[in-house]
Amino acid sequence: MQSHQPFHRRFGLIPAALLLAAAPAAFAQSSVTIYGVVDVYTAYQKSTVGGKDTSLWAMGNNGQMTSRLGFKGVEDLGGGYRASFNLETGFDPSTGGLQNSYRYFDRQSWVGLGGGFGEVRVGRQNSVMFLYSGNMDAFGAATYGSAYNNFANWLARVDNDISYISPKFANTTLELHYSVGERAGSTAGNVVYQIGMQTQQGPLYVASAYLNANNTTNTNSVKQFMLGGNVEYGSGKVYLAFFRTNEVISATTGNVFTNPAGKYDPAGAVVGNTAGDYHNTYSLSADYRINAQTTLGAGGGYVKDGSRYNNNARQFSLIVNYDLSKRTRLYAVASRLVNQNTAAYRMTGASFTASQALSPDAGASETGVQLGIRHTF
């Protein structure tokens, strides 16, 4: 989930209104929302690359949120039922290009049916972990400053996904996801399973999720677990988060699971699937509302490598958000990331673009600063 939801512009379907006036039968009402985010920042990074002290000044995108254009709609089918859809594509406002060159609606493309039973959706969808992570981190699981985002590596979206979202009960919702593998002769190859639960109980928010992604031949799988939340203390929130994953990455899971940030192995190769080898990420952060427009946040995280390589890392960061309006925000981030042994974690932001970031050498630390503007519509 992201905070500060986009402002919506709704367009009623005029032909439907004309039909209602012309016939005695009741026709369903529909609406379509066009929404989006434009997020641009200037940034400085410094680290050791290729054995040399290297700095980078860049104009980047996707600092706090990935820039996007989306369309979503709902149709009232009557009897308490509704149909809905969501199409969403990411783009780079610094160049005008698509965020993902080989698919247009790279972020979401699904259609669903809902009612008193909850909602069923089919298509490319956000993962449960992606939706929950922003509520577990004062940095919104984005910007250079989010240790939780830089160290953990949850799967953000899944193709061929069938999901069920329960009705809210006691301020709690449950999600179940099954991604069809589309592999001849196998019902398990390339399949992704997810389950998630989130609840808001007064000032306390808690969420948890589990994901299992099988490789094409069902001989290996990614297993991930997320737990965390936040508590409102009056002038802000305190956030706690935990993430655990085994060490299998993209090369063993095909197009279902990707690792664009290269966060695990410095050489970019698969670490393997040795029993007992996991990465555990711990994050603690907090924010404080100075006034209605300004929020100050701080936090840090630590990743523990359970393998014999002992490639651990830690990070501490600061962030200032200043809201010019309900839709426009200025933000500033300063962060220091320290890699140990041959770890090579890096600062990635809301999504990773290679030309806008450094890739530190094994064991090299990194400093980063961002100044950005984010506009939602």
Indicate the pLDDT class of residue 28, thresholds 50, 70 and 90. low
Say if residues 350 and 142 touch (Cβ distance below 8 Å).
yes
What pLDDT sits at residue 285? 98
* pLDDT, tens only, 12-26: 433 444 333 444 444
Phi, psi of 295 (to 5 degrees): -130, 135
Q: Report the percentage of the chain scoring pLDDT > 70.
A: 84
Q: Is the sign of the CA dihedral 116, 176, 225, 256 positive or negative?
A: negative
**E-only strand ranges, the chain:** 9-12, 30-49, 52-61, 68-78, 81-92, 97-98, 108-115, 118-126, 157-165, 172-179, 192-201, 204-214, 221-232, 237-246, 278-289, 294-305, 313-323, 328-339, 366-376
Look at 216-225, 229-238, 305-314 and tell me which has the smallest mean pLDDT.
Answer: 216-225
Asked if the 9-376 domain carries CATH number 2.60.40.1180, the reply is: no
* pLDDT, tens only, 145-194: 999 999 887 888 888 999 999 999 999 999 999 998 887 888 888 889 99
- Cα 292 to Cα 17, 316, 321: the distances in Å are 41, 26, 11
Mean pLDDT of 125-154: 94
88 token code pair: 């969403």
Q: Is the sign of the CA dihedral 18, 85, 1, 314 positive or negative?
A: negative
What pLDDT sits at residue 328? 98
Indicate left, alpha or beta for 343 from its phi (over 0: left) and psi (-120 to 50: alpha). Answer: beta
146 token code pair: 């989010």
Query: How many CB atoms are closer than 10 A to CB 202?
Result: 8
SS3 292: coil
**141 or 15: whose pLDDT is higher?**
141
Indicate the pLDDT class of residue 74, thresholds 50, 70 and 90. very high
Mean pLDDT of 60-76: 94
User: 27 CB contacts (<8 Å, ≥6 apart)?
Assistant: 16, 19, 20
Say if residues 373 and 61 touch (Cβ distance below 8 Å).
no
Indicate the pLDDT class of residue 273, thresholds 50, 70 and 90. low
Separation CA 91–CA 106 (nearest Å):
10
What pLDDT sits at residue 248? 56
User: 316 CB contacts (<8 Å, ≥6 apart)?
Assistant: 147, 298, 299, 300, 335, 336
Does the pLDDT value for residue 79 go beyond 90? Answer: yes
Pairing type for strands 81-92 and 68-78 reads antiparallel
CA of residue 89 relative to chain centroid, distance: 14
Model pTM score = 0.85
Mean pLDDT of 65-71: 95
**E-only strand ranges, 233-267:** 237-246
* pLDDT, tens only, 318-357: 999 999 999 999 999 999 999 998 888 888 888 777 677 8
Closest of 205, 207, 305, 204 to residue 264, by C-alpha:
305
Indicate the pLDDT class of residue 4, thresholds 50, 70 and 90. very low
What pLDDT sits at residue 140? 96
SS3 of 118-162: the string is EEEEEEEEECHHHHHHHHHCCCCCCCCCCHHHHHCCCCCEEEEEE
Task: Return the exposure string of 22-39: e unless at least 16 CB atoms fall within 10 Å of the residue's CB, then b.
Answer: eeeeebeebeebebbbbb
Look at 60-74, 98-112, 190-204 and tell me which has the smallest mean pLDDT.
Answer: 98-112
Mean of all residue pLDDT scores within the chain: 85
